[in-house]
Structure 1
Amino acid sequence: MTNKLGTLYGVSLGPGDPGLITRRAWQLLSGSGHWTYPVRKKNGDSYALDIALRAGLALPAAHTPLLFPMTHDSGILARYWLEAAQTVLARLQRGEDVLFLVEGDASTYSTFGHLQRSVRALQPDVPVEIVPGVSSFHAAAARCGEPLADVDDTIAIVPAGYGIAQIERMLADFDTLVLLKVKPLLDDIIELLRRRDLLAQGWFVEKAGAPEERMVHDLASLQGETVNYLSLLIIKNPGRQRGEMQRGCRKKKETPDD
């Protein structure tokens, strides 16, 4: 048995378009590392794995799905995180590199962070490399043709689960607001945007870059609809942007010429 530990890689694949896979991720996926990927239920599909397969990469004969159920029960989650960490660590201890496939970016609201912490809780000296990737909100903004931020604009990127009160507060504080995982609160968010006269200032994007991608600018049309878990909203606050621009113009005028 080798004493050298393998490396755990968080391999970011982008939000859905295989063309957004980086050269570094492609290099690793074309190598000898053992593929692991998240599934939400036993024998279920993996969105991250699907991105790699649609890119034309061949699934290795040996590969391991890791089960992470959709639940907020911390006790249940802890058990599955431990099982996944033990499965991964056994291969790392044999000197194998392990690749964990991640949709989007592995450092942004990703299951990889939980896996990394769980593995290192069992063995702190496990080497880890995170391969950065295109995040869903960057891809969504590009598809909508909307800049997320310009010049001195401020931007907030948060899960919609923070709640309507917090979302309303952030609308006053930021020029652009990106809300991730909007499915549970979509109707309430639409009502808030209607009340703030911002319905025309938003984009809804579902599965950005995937074959099933959907973009909706008429946010009111989504009222009452059940949307996919992998969906987000980009909301612009033009009133606040005008104020920032006016302040910037005043500052510029007050600055003496060189």
Structure 2
Amino acid sequence: MTAPRLGRLIGASLGPGDPELITRRAWAALQSSARWLYPVKKAEESSYALGIVERGGLAVPEDAEALVFPMTRDPVALAKAWSRAASRTVELLREGRDLVFLVEGDASTFATFGHLARVVRELAPEVEVETIPGVSSFAAAAAGTGLSLAEEDETFAVIPAAYGVPVVERLLDEFDTLVLLKVKPLLDEILDLLTRRGLLATSCFIEKVGSPEERIVRDVASLAGQKVNYLSLMLVQNPKRVRGELRRGCRKHAATAPA
């Protein structure tokens, strides 16, 4: 007797907030017969990823289902949550229908989908997984602020700010541009570092890029003491590593941009 076919698990990258950045491939997956899964931090809470699709004009199917991924560093709580989410995903896949998991940003970059797919494969190694790439938050932020992440033979690094100020400071000497993700917990410490290193004028803060609540702050020193959204990042350029005149700084670009 042939075993029933499992559905495919599809990670559909939606970009960081603007539905116009959803790729044609992800859009096709959303409009296919696949059942939608989407992440939430708490039960009955709204989903940022789902909101991107809704702003794009697609109606949420009645059978779309939320998977809970709590915001906690408790390893026991996290393990239980991942186990529940993966088990439910496999249960649905065994019905033979494809599942499309909605991913904000890019599914291969600091995304929930990679971990979910890995745990699902541990439970059901035969599951076919497809990852649809998308626009990352930092790529959209660079485009929205008119900055280049790297030119010619320059280098850039992308790290969560949670790695800490000592790591950020070391990388400032090794890369032309740093992308600091999720700066909320260490914002004031990062600002102190940028002040000490003389990099305030070549840094930009971007919050909820591409969404209706997007905020771009070029005078990053003004953020001191503020509470910012979890979905925030900072682009930092080190002029000491840029050849010639300081030409790519955040405020420099804003001042010279055509009206």
| 1:87-107 deviation per Cα after TM superposition (whole angstroms, max 9, x unaligned) | 111111111101110100000
Q: 2:62 & 2:155 partners in 1: Cα distance?
A: 47
2:134 corresponds in structure 1 to: 133
1:116 corresponds in structure 2 to: 117
Pairing 1:163-178 to 2, within 5 Å after superposition: 163-178=164-179
SS in 2 for 1:78: helix
Q: 1:134 & 1:203 partners in 2: Cα distance?
A: 19
Q: How far did residue 242 of structure 1 move?
A: 2.2
Pairing 1:152-231 to 2, within 5 Å after superposition: 152-231=153-232
Name which one, 1 or 2, has greater alpha-carbon Rg.
1
Q: 1:73 & 1:140 partners in 2: Cα distance?
A: 31
2:9 corresponds in structure 1 to: 8
Give the CA RMSD over aligned residues: 1.3
2:251 corresponds in structure 1 to: none
| 1:57-103 deviation per Cα after TM superposition (whole angstroms, max 9, x unaligned) | 11111011000110011111110111011111111111110111010
Q: 1:5 & 1:88 partners in 2: Cα distance?
A: 11
TM-score, normalization: structure 1? 0.93
Pairing 1:58-77 to 2, within 5 Å after superposition: 58-77=59-78
**Structure 1 contact 108–135 (Cα < 8 Å) conserved:** yes
Q: How far did residue 173 of structure 1 move?
A: 0.4
Letter in 2 for 1:3: P
| 1:102-126 deviation per Cα after TM superposition (whole angstroms, max 9, x unaligned) | 1000000000011101101101110
TM-score, normalization: structure 2? 0.92
SS in 2 for 1:233: strand
Letter in 1 for 2:178: L
1:33 corresponds in structure 2 to: 34
Letter in 1 for 2:25: R
1:235 corresponds in structure 2 to: 236
Letter in 2 for 1:147: S
SS in 2 for 1:165: helix
Letter in 2 for 1:15: P
Q: 1:67 & 1:217 partners in 2: Cα distance?
A: 35
Q: 2:155 & 2:103 partners in 1: Cα distance?
A: 28
SS in 2 for 1:173: coil
Question: For this pair of structures, how many residues does the alignment match?
Answer: 244
2:95 corresponds in structure 1 to: 94
| 1:176-217 deviation per Cα after TM superposition (whole angstroms, max 9, x unaligned) | 000000000000000000000000000000010000000000
Q: How far did residue 39 of structure 1 move?
A: 0.4
Q: 1:242 & 1:82 partners in 2: Cα distance?
A: 50
Letter in 2 for 1:215: I
Q: 1:224 & 1:124 partners in 2: Cα distance?
A: 48
| 1:18-45 deviation per Cα after TM superposition (whole angstroms, max 9, x unaligned) | 0000000000101111101000111001
**Structure 1 contact 187–224 (Cα < 8 Å) conserved:** yes
Letter in 2 for 1:31: S
**Structure 1 contact 9–98 (Cα < 8 Å) conserved:** yes
Gaps of at least 5 residues in structure 2 are 245-259
Q: 2:177 & 2:104 partners in 1: Cα distance?
A: 23
Gaps of at least 5 residues in structure 1 are 244-258
| 1:160-179 deviation per Cα after TM superposition (whole angstroms, max 9, x unaligned) | 00100000000000000000
Q: How far did residue 240 of structure 1 move?
A: 1.1
Q: How far did residue 2 of structure 1 move?
A: 6.5
**Structure 1 contact 48–102 (Cα < 8 Å) conserved:** yes
Establish whether residue 19 from structure 1 lines up as the match of residue 12 from structure 2. no
